[in-house]
Amino acid sequence: MNAGRYDAIVIGSALDELVAAANLAKAGFRVLVLEPGEAPGGPAASEEILPGFRVDPVFADAGFLDPRALRDLDLATHGLALLGPDPVLAAPTDSGEPFLVWRDPGKTRASIAKRSAGDAGRWTQFAERMESFAGILEDVCSRPPFRPAGPLRDLAPFLGLGRRVRALGRERMTELLRVVPLPAQDLLDDTFEDQLLKGALAAIAVRGIFQGPRSPGTSLVLLHHHVGSPTGVFGLRTVLRGGVGGLANALAAVARERGAEIRCGAKVARVVNEKGRAVGVSLEGGGQIAARAVLSGADPARTFLDLTGATYLDPDFVHAVRKIRFRGGCARIHMALSEAPRFEGLDQAPQGLVMIAPDMDHVERAYDD
């Protein structure tokens, strides 16, 4: 091992890894981030596909940004700017009025009313119910995961979650338990009649997964994509100036300011183990770096089977890791255009999410393909 020992080595520099590095450095630990690419951000780093055209090659948006993390990291002072495109979601059609989701609930209801007065009347109750359920999901995601074989005190934070669920009342709590495992198609068919409205929401419910809206549990995915959004605002949650790459740059600036070292072009070959403990890493091309702890942003199979090695792990754990199924369910095409695209029925080019989904059968057939 070399003499430059660190408290923690972070493998990769995607968003989660940069947040971890920044927080560890703030706590006074000596942190080294190892990024195999040319710039911080990993899959979140932006790329210039043509002169003047920068894109996020992997991420469609930044997803949910915890307001507490934004305040703690003080990202605004490092160049991060949140934008508010309106409408948030536009679903054009070749016949009739488009379906638009605005930040103003009244404007969304007015858009729906042009297609279905009944759906416009049902929208507010649906939106409030989805926001309430997404709030429960946000609460779950904000709590540290408990260890099944850990001490009972690990379950203490979830007692408050149980109280919050009960506070929904019997009727809404029962509805939550009904909705979570439901196919998105059943949820939307139970609520609305307009095919375009249902198609747009169903498309959100299958973003980034390898399922169609008839698959069980896709209602939960719709709730997942709604976490952190205002009432009735379905579509893009967070739009950033500079895209997701801008967020990666801001996080890297925070981590460095707090004392973390980010080293690009450094690909980890192995996690070094001594007596059952990770004590550092070895790099491709030679060289080892010592550390008291190693954090990996790679997937579980690569982290435990490739970088660590099955010989250092419990056989039952190795078997469980090998059983994890993860398949890509998303493809992206980037286009450099002379101007933003325009659609029939829309007065101006939409700045938010444009969803081509005339009905739920269209979305299901896309999954079949």
Tokens of 44: 């979140």
Q: 347, exposed or middle or buried, with CB in 10 Å at 0-12, 13-18, 19+?
A: exposed
Partnered with residue 9 across adjacent β-strands are 32, 294
pLDDT tens-digit profile of 59-115? 878 878 888 888 888 888 888 888 888 889 999 998 788 999 999 999 999 999 999
What is the rounded distance in angstroms from the CA atom of residue 96 to the CA atom of residue 270?
58
Give pTM, 2 decimals. 0.85
Partnered with residue 33 across adjacent β-strands are 10, 262
DSSP 47-68: EEEETTEEE-SS-SS-----HH
Judge whether 122 and 192 are in contact, CB under 8 Å: yes
CA-closest candidate to residue 245, choices 63, 36, 44: 44
Averaged pLDDT, 137-166: 68
Residue 155 pLDDT level (bands cut at 50, 70, 90): low
Q: Which residues are CB-contacts of 282 (< 8 A; sequence separation ≥ 6)?
A: 268, 269, 270, 272, 288
Residue type, 283: L
Q: What is the pLDDT of residue 17?
A: 95
Q: What is the pLDDT of residue 3?
A: 44
Partnered with residue 288 across adjacent β-strands are 282
What is the rounded distance in angstroms from the CA atom of residue 273 to the CA atom of residue 235?
45
Q: What is the pLDDT of residue 85?
A: 84
**Above pLDDT 90, what percent of the chain?**
53
